[in-house]
Chain A
Amino acid sequence: MDMLLAIWKSETMTVPESLGVAVVGILIVLAELAFLAVFIIILSKLIGFFTSKKKGASQPDPIASPVPAGVPLPDTRSEGTLDLINVDEPTAAAIMAIVSNESGIPLNRLSFKSIKLLEDK
């Protein structure tokens, strides 16, 4: 700490002093971001806990609930046809997964008609 204070006040620096600054610097960045990571994990757990509690409290009465108009497919199944125009299957799969992830709608509730590669004009 004394060394850091001396560096703070000094106009020049030796290589060992710069090594000290570098070590302290990288440790500060690591510690701060590790602290943030822990904070985010705790926050996620808390939000997850309260969300599940809220969902549990507002669970509708199974007898009173109306029958949904369209019954979704099981998570592992999908159906229908999809036109791929100049797009390979892995790319199409990735696009569908991204759309599902970004929209928050499970893949088995989404309907894709076609995926087409657009050329730059």
Chain B
Amino acid sequence: MNFESITEILTGIWNSSGFAGITWQNGVMILVSFVFLFLAIKKKFEPLLLVPIAFGILLANMPAAGLMADPAGLMTDLPPGAVREPWYHDGVLRLIYAGVKSSIFPCLIFMGIGAMTDFGPLLANPVSLLLGAAAQLGIYIAFIIAIALGKIPAIGFTPEEAASIAIIGGADGPTAILVASKLAPQMLGPIALAAYSYMALIPLIQPPIMKALTTEKERKVEMKQLRTVTKTEKILFPIVVFVVVALLLPSAAPLIGFLMLGNLFKECGVTERLSDTAQNSLINIVTIMLGTTVGATANGEDFLQPKTLAIVFLGLMAFCFSTVGGVLFGKLLYLITGGKINPLIGSAGVSAVPMAARVSQTEGRKYNPKNFLLMHAMGANVAGVIGSAVAAGFLLLMFGK
């Protein structure tokens, strides 16, 4: 073996390694994944989601690894003249990503959420549903702003992209992923990251808005204890809600259907094993696959665009205006009921369960230590889950051509 052949072998090894194929975008995304891993592990910033998402970013940005490759053209268009390969030649993350693309994962996550959710406070005080509806305001405000920003050439959002960004205001990760994967799959990574990041930042985002929009007298309002809800009501609720919502807005049926199926497992009293699986093992398994593959969609070339910054900005706008909508509607109810409803529970109408309800409780106690708003806020909070699913159904109906 002479010197030239050794050089040739070494050159071949170098050329086939990731070092030769790495782009600056890959490098930046790998650094971003390190930052997210640090935030998740060291700062405990939504670690259950952020660790798989961050590692998914790392996996997808490893040059030449091909974990998200799609030579079978299952989900991407093949280049002209390329030969379609068998499906099992696709990257492993691409194959798992089919669960996101087909809405299987968001629906299964919703089933787990349903199995964990107690709709009792909502049943005891059905007016909470209106707070859950009003707190979707941010979705529509962000949609208008996104369309307006779309006139800037570097950004240029289509109505489908604007709708996908706007749904961040629903403060519901699975809903945002479902809408984005249907309407703007190329933006799924930044939208999912923005949605989950802002959900983690709720204790920082909401309190200043709540304080600015309410008076001290309103914040001190003590709400009376909720009535006891019967078992029959709790069993009938998921069935009735699904039938009503699916008949009125069929495009919301997948999310609401799985949410209510999970809740029926919990409440009916004869499917404890199914309820346990849905709210523990299943949701954990799906979270791993969903988080990792959503992270893997954050490919450097697509992610590092001016549009991503616009998504981050619009997501924040959507969150803020959703809080504004909930609190303002809470103030309206305060006036209508003669001061019986504390407007602070309105902010919990964004669906981030139970974080938003905890914020209402904490803020309420700051101004009146005797105040226990948690159960009332939980009513608005779970109403927000239904509200965001209905809002998503409307957007899918309008733009899911």
Contact = CB atoms under 8 A, between A and B. Distances in A.
B158 A37 contact: no
Interface string A6-20: 011011111101110
Contact of B126 (A7, A15, A22, A41): A41
Given A44-B233, A47-B230, A18 B126 contact: no
Interface stretch (A24-32, A69-77, A78-86, A110-118): A24-32
B390 interface: yes
Given A11-B158, A13-B147, A90-B370, A36 B395 contact: no
Interface in B114-166: 122-123, 126-127, 129-130, 132-134, 136-137, 139-141, 143-144, 147-148, 150, 158-159, 162
A26 B140 contact: yes
Interface residues of A, number: 40
A39 B248 CA distance: 13
B370 A25 contact: no
B236 interface: yes
Contacts of A44: 123, 126, 233
Interface stretch (B49-57, B88-96, B204-212, B237-245): B237-245
Interface in A37-65: 37-41, 43-44, 47-48, 51
A23 B140 CA distance: 8
Interface string B233-257: 1001100110011001100000000
A101 interface: yes
Contacts of B375: 101
B130 A25 contact: no
A8 B127 contact: no
A26 B249 contact: no
B398 A35 contact: no
A28 B249 contact: yes
Given A34-B133, A35-B244, A15 B140 contact: no
Interface of B: 122-123, 126-127, 129-130, 132-134, 136-137, 139-141, 143-144, 147-148, 150, 158-159, 162, 225-226, 228, 230, 232-233, 236-237, 240-241, 244-245, 248-249, 369-370, 372, 375, 383, 386-387, 390-391, 394-395, 398, 401
8 contacts: A17-B147, A23-B140, A30-B134, A33-B130, A33-B390, A34-B133, A47-B233, A48-B230
Given A36-B386, A94-B372, 10 more contacts: A8-B398, A22-B141, A23-B140, A29-B391, A30-B133, A36-B245, A37-B126, A41-B126, A43-B236, A90-B369
